[in-house]
Amino acid sequence: MAERQHQASAEPGSKYDEAKRLGLKIITEEEFKGIIKDFPKK
């Protein structure tokens, strides 16, 4: 899968920079919604 660039927000700040430095995958809001859609609602 090709690496895509995502915009975290207008000013993502140091947490975004730290996540990138650590090599963590940055996901979009749509990807996040897809991950949590099957979780039971309380």
pLDDT of residue 22: 96
- The span from the CA of 34 to the CA of 3, in Å, is 18
Question: For the whole model, what pTM was predicted?
Answer: 0.52
Could you report the per-residue pLDDT of 1-42, keeping only the tens digit for each?
Answer: 455 555 566 667 888 899 999 999 999 999 999 999 988 877
Which H/E stretch holds residue 21? helix 13-21
Report how far Cα 39 is from the mean position of its chain's Cα atoms: 18
Predicted local distance difference test score (pLDDT) of residue 38: 85
- Torsion sign (Cα): 27, 30, 31, 37: positive
Contact between 26 and 20 (Cβ < 8 Å): yes
